[in-house]
């Protein structure tokens, strides 16, 4: 992608991480490292309105495809759990020569980033979680909702989910839906989603990270951002996490649903940038 309005260009490249291939989108070549992590059945392209603006604040910013998603390796052979993704994140940072990182995770990416932060607090400068699962246990009913939609990757099902994720329906174009449909029906995707469904059904609530994050005793600042009208992960989950994480900051993003960073990047980018870069790394 080309730079626009004086923003840094975004480059794209494949990267092999411990036998897994992922795709990296990067803006900026110097400064503190920010890594953006997408949610379940999503991919790095969701961050296309965030990469260059954050890099323009003086950072090098990366968005990656999690294994089982986007253009990354799919199918069997990967541990699709908080522990498996935490190990992947550690190896990814090593490959990118990042010693300390500023993390942003949304939805399932919130579990990935918070698990890594709990496992490696010495490598984390700040953590921002948006509409995140995995901070507190979801409970059977909420897990069942994910299990009901996860195998459904028709164009119609994808369009319906995306519409539930925003308040501005015009953002969900036919091209947007088609890209998600093609990616989430690519070879190995069904096997990856089946493994993730098994994890949701049996173990994900055991891996809730709030207690372990609290045990780091303020090793890094934590920001919890929620869309004002999030129908996918209710604000009560964020409020519960805020209560369990002393010193954390909780903020609602007005006129947004589950994708505040995508729907209102003009609001979210400065907010995240001030929080992350104010960490003083």
Mean pLDDT, the chain, whole residue set: 96
Domain count, the chain: 1
Task: Choose between 4 and 12: higher pLDDT.
Answer: 12
Question: For residue 203, is it within any domain?
Answer: yes
Task: Say whether pLDDT at 159 is over 50.
Answer: yes
What percent of the chain is predicted at pLDDT more than 70?
98
- In 3D, which of 119, 279, 140 has the Cα closest to residue 213? 119
Question: For residue 232, is it within any domain?
Answer: yes
Question: For residue 245, is it within any domain?
Answer: yes
Q: Are 257 and 39 in contact (CB under 8 A)?
A: no
Q: How far is CA 118 from CA 208, 224, 256, 264, 281, in A?
A: 11, 16, 29, 29, 18
Please state the φ and ψ torsions of residue 23, each to the nearest 5 degrees.
-115, 135
* Average pLDDT of the residues in 235-252: 97
pLDDT digits (tens, 9 = 90+) for 8-63: 999 999 999 999 999 999 999 999 999 999 999 999 999 999 999 999 999 999 99
Question: For residue 1, is it within any domain?
Answer: no
Q: How far apart are CA 179 and CA 211, in angstroms?
A: 37
* CATH (domain of 178): 3.40.50.1820
pLDDT digits (tens, 9 = 90+) for 172-185: 999 999 999 999 99
Question: For residue 5, is it within any domain?
Answer: no
Question: For residue 3, is it within any domain?
Answer: no
Question: For residue 93, is it within any domain?
Answer: yes
**What is the pLDDT at residue 212?**
98
Domain assignment of residue 127, given as a range = 10-277
Task: Say whether pLDDT at 199 is over 80.
Answer: yes
Q: How far apart are CA 227 and CA 15, in angstroms?
A: 32
Task: Say whether pLDDT at 280 is over 50.
Answer: no
Q: How far apart are CA 17 and CA 205, in angstroms?
A: 27
Question: For residue 4, is it within any domain?
Answer: no
pTM, two decimals, is: 0.96
The structure tokens 């794209």 sit at: 12
**What is the pLDDT at residue 6?**
85
**What is the pLDDT at residue 279?**
63
Q: How far is CA 1 from CA 8, 62, 199, 215, 264, in A?
A: 10, 14, 36, 41, 21
**What is the pLDDT at residue 1?**
41
Q: How far apart are CA 275 and CA 259, in angstroms?
A: 19
**What is the pLDDT at residue 278?**
87
Burial class (CB in 10 A: 0-12, 13-18, 19+), 141: exposed
Give 47-50 contacts, CB < 8 A, sequence gap 24+.
47/261, 47/262, 48/1, 48/10, 49/261, 49/262, 49/265, 49/269, 50/261, 50/265, 50/268, 50/269, 50/272
Helices and strands (H and E) in the chain: how many: 11, 8
Q: How far apart are CA 82 and CA 109, in angstroms?
A: 10
**What is the pLDDT at residue 27?**
98
């Amino acid at each position: 992608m080309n730079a626009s309005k004086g923003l840094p260009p975004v480059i794209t490249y494949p990267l092999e991480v411990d036998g897994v291939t992922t795709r990296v989108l990067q803006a900026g070549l110097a400064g503190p490292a920010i890594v953006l992590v997408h949610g379940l059945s999503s991919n790095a392209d969701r961050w296309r309105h965030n990469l260059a603006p954050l890099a323009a604040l003086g950072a090098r910013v990366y968005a990656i495809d999690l294994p089982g998603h986007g253009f990354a390796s799919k199918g069997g052979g990967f541990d699709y759990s908080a522990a498996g993704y935490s190990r992947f994140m550690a190896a990814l940072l090593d490959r990118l020569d990042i010693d300390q990182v500023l993390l942003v995770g949304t939805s399932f990416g919130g579990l990935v980033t918070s698990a890594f932060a709990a496992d490696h607090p010495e490598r984390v400068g700040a953590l921002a979680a948006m509409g995140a699962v995995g901070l507190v246990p979801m409970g059977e009913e909420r897990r069942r909702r994910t299990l009901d939609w996860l195998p459904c990757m028709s164009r119609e099902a994808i369009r319906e989910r995306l519409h539930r994720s925003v308040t501005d329906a015009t953002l969900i174009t036919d091209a947007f839906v088609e890209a998600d449909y093609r990616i989430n029906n690519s070879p190995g995707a069904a096997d990856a989603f089946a493994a993730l469904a098994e994890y949701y059904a049996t173990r994900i609530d055991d891996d809730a990270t709030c207690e372990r994050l609290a045990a780091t005793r303020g090793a890094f600042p934590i920001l919890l951002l929620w869309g004002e009208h999030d129908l996918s992960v209710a604000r009560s989950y964020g409020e519960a996490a805020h209560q369990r994480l002393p010193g954390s900051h909780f903020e609602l993003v007005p006129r947004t649903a589950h994708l505040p960073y995508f729907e209102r990047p003009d609001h979210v980018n400065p907010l995240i940038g001030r929080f992350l870069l104010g960490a003083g790394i």
